[in-house]
Structure 1
Amino acid sequence: MTTSPEATKPLVLAPVLAGISGALAGFASSFAIVMAGAVAVGATPVQAASGLLVVSLVQGILAIVLSSTSRWPISIAWSTSGAAVLVSAGAVTQDFATAIAAFIVVGIMIALTGFWPWLSRVMTSIPAPIGSAMLAGILLPICLAPVHASMAYPALALPPIILWLVLSRFAPRWAVAAAVLLTVVLVVINAGPTWAEGASLAPRLEWLLPSFADPLAIISLAIPMYIVTMAGQNIPGFTVLHTYGYAPAPARQIMLTTGIASALSAPFGAQTVNLSALSAAIMVGDEHTPRERRWIATVTAGVVYILLGLLASVAGALIAASPSILIESVAGLALLTVLVTAMMSALEDARGRLVAIGTFAVVASGMTAFGFGSAVWGLLVGATMWLVFVTSARRAHTAERGPTHPGDD
């Protein structure tokens, strides 16, 4: 029995459309976070644009190669959570060469996670109240940016916020993308016809030698970036694959590939790449496509990411023409739902709520001490509080119960 061309057309078109939709939603909703993160740690607009270009190329190529060879819908994306760490890390360093060194360290740590499973076990053993509260504390200052932008530049900041609010009710998938687009239009109008004057809009690479002269700053960036990338992106990414029946996932191959690619591309300003979680659900969970053909969606998304990356210099010119708080404002809108999820996860376990609030308060404070940033101190404070309030209480409760006797159950 032969299949008519009309019957096979939806089978081809559906995953392609899902891939285009996933890539556009993922790129438009978070590229501003990547750019804002690079600028926050000292990158020039040209260097930030170079990083966006290269990370787009890397994640696109990896998605194409991994998906086409495995016939699995493996979606690769930049670390939105890692970029959020950078946005709040301006007090840690303003030397982009130091940040690049941190990117390299994070890539190596991700590769080692794939090579040595014990590191993955250590990572996943971090209590959820600590990891989630740490992410929430990193996100809070960014999510306050729309408030600050509305006060400083109401004519430029309020219309995108209002549009985001309306679309969040009626078309939530495109709310952030529409807010980004409106922000771009307002920035261009405000800057006038000369907004791109003196800027090259052609794709441009900037290579910068990493600096390892400030190890404390590197640690302050690398450790929280690694933790939130693993907890906020890779682990949920594997969960998405497992949920839709793609298990066991080739974890070692994915970790090694993304880790090595992240380390090698870092000198061009590229941030970490990892498994996608949010945009992956659009492609992996597409009900209009048979399971055995959903890999076409992630291959398509990879192609779209490469094409979008070629527009990175335009994004760099826009950043140079706009107040930085506007870019952070859009990033804050994009991360509000992530903040909600992180807070709910942090407070879900009643035993660890005090630990979560303590971790959150330290990280959100933005403090720096002895060369370490607030994310590192928040992790240390959270671990200490966990030992005091949870582990010791559990041991005391066990001691009060006494030894267990046969037949007690």
Structure 2
Amino acid sequence: MTITAQAGLREPMVAGVVTALVGFTSSFAVVIAGLRAVGATAEQAASGLFALTVVFGLGIIVLSIRSRAPVTLAWSTPGAALLVSMGAGYDAGWAAAVGAFLVVGGLILLVGLIPALGDLIARIPTPIAQAMLGGVLLSLCLAPMESVAAEPLLTLPVLIVWLVATRWLARWALPLTLLTALAVIAVYVWVHGNEQHLEATWLPTLSWTTPNLDVAAIVGIAIPLFVVTMASQNIPGVAVLSSFGYTTPWRAAMTVTGAGTAFVAPFGGHAINLAALSAALAAGDEAGPDRSRRWIAGVSAGVGYLVLAALSGALVTIAAIAPGGLVEAVAGLALLGTFAAAVVGAFTAVETRVPAALTFVAAASGLTFFGVGGAFWGLVIGLVAHTVLRPRTAAPR
């Protein structure tokens, strides 16, 4: 192989490794917090993180080779934030949450088989979808400030590193923030000791949970999780690839992510989807000037995720050791940019501002009716308000 050919392979391979590192480290804390919020033990959360990473890593490799495009997948970070937002109001149990995850996989699979379902999701007004996402993210984005109030000496170093790195090393800001948090946790355990009984092991494990198809969980978890995953991950993921000149293999992607979500659900995984933000790292100029070779970045990212999956058990164990609120603070920092973009998207258009505001406050309020959480009711209230308040076209004279 010539030096030129080696250089042509090195750039997309390095870009793929960077994609995996940034994608994994920037949001795994959100996934852990989300799974724990709906009843997972530390062992079950570790199982979910491991299963998700392995399956979407394999999915990336298959789709990238098949389509010869840098198609990258991820777990649903907004979906995990949705689970966090349910908080203490959720009492249906972990098995019911797993049943809801299974339904989400089936719905995504149907989108691949029946394109009209995807069109139906796309018809939800963007400000309403963004407002629901913003309301869901609000509680988690407040976590850094709440952690500063509770544990200032532990949280301030994390915030300072995040702020400085965001200014000068934006791509690596979240990985550096994570490393700082791990160092803080290590010092905390060294000073105070650890008397907590840990449910998880340091090695990756799989824990089976038989799904319980509970109606309230399906309405309160599955439907909002499906909508937020489609509207905030899959549709933007297509747009990111399109911006770099690639056509997303939509049916194949929905089939892989839907079947993958259904497969990982009993092991604790909540949702798999097209990557949005991290997709640009594998599809952009960082993957080399030759666009025909950038699919190699996708394959490299998939392999990178498979390697990182081995860390899932250790990361969940560390999260269990961490002082209360610190992991949630890291997760909140990871989602601040997404939250800001959602708020801007929700409230920019004057004509939809009131329905979007109703959606936002309902989703953020934590209200629960009939065992169904605020995200679902926020979406319903927003759609009803949008329909009622939408200006009517004047009749011709």
Superposition TM-score, scaled by structure 2 size = 0.95
Q: Would you say 1:272 and 2:271 are equivalent positions?
A: yes
Sequence identity (%): 44
Aligned to 2:27: 30
SS in 1 for 2:246: coil
Amino acid at match of 1:138: V
SS in 1 for 2:226: helix
Aligned to 2:211: 210
SS in 1 for 2:201: coil
Q: Would you say 1:12 and 2:9 are equivalent positions?
A: yes
Work out the CA distance in 1 between the residues paired with 2:106 and 2:357. Answer: 31
Q: Would you say 1:56 and 2:68 are equivalent positions?
A: no
Q: Would you say 1:373 and 2:347 are equivalent positions?
A: no
Aligned to 2:256: 257
Q: How does 1:76-87 map to 2 (within 5 A)?
A: 76-87=73-84
Amino acid at match of 2:100: A
Work out the CA distance in 1 between the residues paired with 2:310 and 2:197. Answer: 19
Work out the CA distance in 2 between the residues paired with 1:265 and 1:83. Answer: 15
Q: Would you say 1:389 and 2:397 are equivalent positions?
A: no
- 8 Å CA contact 2:43, 2:201 repeated in 1: no
Amino acid at match of 2:243: T
- 8 Å CA contact 1:195, 1:317 repeated in 2: no
- 8 Å CA contact 2:207, 2:267 repeated in 1: yes
Work out the CA distance in 2 between the residues paired with 1:336 and 1:195. Answer: 33
Q: Note the alpha carbon deviations across 1:192-251, whole angstroms, 9 max, x for none.
A: 375898653122111111112x3112210111111111111100111111111112x221
Aligned to 1:336: 336
Work out the CA distance in 1 between the residues paired with 2:196 and 2:284. Answer: 40
SS in 1 for 2:370: coil
- 8 Å CA contact 2:65, 2:295 repeated in 1: yes
SS in 2 for 1:278: coil
Q: Would you say 1:46 and 2:43 are equivalent positions?
A: yes
Amino acid at match of 2:25: A
Work out the CA distance in 1 between the residues paired with 2:234 and 2:195. Answer: 38
Work out the CA distance in 1 between the residues paired with 2:173 and 2:2. Answer: 36
SS in 2 for 1:190: helix
Aligned to 2:312: 312
SS in 1 for 2:74: strand
SS in 2 for 1:311: helix
Amino acid at match of 1:243: S
- Counterparts in 2 of 1:126 and 1:13: CA distance versus 1, 3 Å: same
Work out the CA distance in 1 between the residues paired with 2:253 and 2:348. Answer: 30
Work out the CA distance in 1 between the residues paired with 2:373 and 2:7. Answer: 51
Amino acid at match of 1:340: A
SS in 1 for 2:325: helix
Aligned to 2:297: 297
Displacement, 1:178? Answer: 1.1
SS in 1 for 2:278: helix
- 8 Å CA contact 1:363, 1:375 repeated in 2: yes
- 8 Å CA contact 1:25, 1:279 repeated in 2: yes
- 8 Å CA contact 2:141, 2:335 repeated in 1: yes
Q: Which of the numbers 172, 175, 194 marks the counterpart of 1:174?
A: 172
Larger mean CA deviation between 30-39 and 188-197 belongs to 188-197
Larger mean CA deviation between 23-32 and 167-176 belongs to 167-176
Aligned to 1:106: 104
Displacement, 1:323? Answer: 3.3
Work out the CA distance in 2 between the residues paired with 1:196 and 1:250. Answer: 47
Q: Note the alpha carbon deviations across 1:359-409, whole angstroms, 9 max, x for none.
A: 10111111111221101110111011101111xx224xx23xx25xxxxxx
SS in 1 for 2:86: coil
Work out the CA distance in 2 between the residues paired with 1:296 and 1:365. Answer: 44
Q: Note the alpha carbon deviations across 1:228-275, whole angstroms, 9 max, x for none.
A: 11111100111111111112x221111011101101111001121111
Aligned to 1:233: 233
Amino acid at match of 2:386: W
Work out the CA distance in 2 between the residues paired with 1:386 and 1:85. Answer: 22
- 8 Å CA contact 2:194, 2:321 repeated in 1: no
- 8 Å CA contact 2:92, 2:217 repeated in 1: no
Q: Which of the numbers 141, 144, 148 marks the counterpart of 1:143?
A: 141
Work out the CA distance in 1 between the residues paired with 2:374 and 2:110. Answer: 25
- 8 Å CA contact 2:136, 2:364 repeated in 1: yes
Superposition TM-score, scaled by structure 1 size = 0.93
SS in 1 for 2:378: helix
Q: Which has the larger radius of gyration?
A: 1
Work out the CA distance in 1 between the residues paired with 2:202 and 2:379. Answer: 41
Q: Could you tell me which runs of 5 or more consecutive residues in structure 2 were left unpaired when the two chains were aligned.
A: none
Q: How large is the Cα RMSD of the aligned pairs?
A: 1.5
Amino acid at match of 2:272: V
Q: Note the alpha carbon deviations across 1:168-213, whole angstroms, 9 max, x for none.
A: 111111111111111111112212375898653122111111112x
Q: Note the alpha carbon deviations across 1:42-84, whole angstroms, 9 max, x for none.
A: 1111111111111000010000111112211110111111111
Q: Which of the numbers 164, 170, 173 marks the counterpart of 2:162?
A: 164
- 8 Å CA contact 1:101, 1:210 repeated in 2: yes
Work out the CA distance in 2 between the residues paired with 1:32 and 1:162. Answer: 19
- 8 Å CA contact 1:234, 1:277 repeated in 2: yes
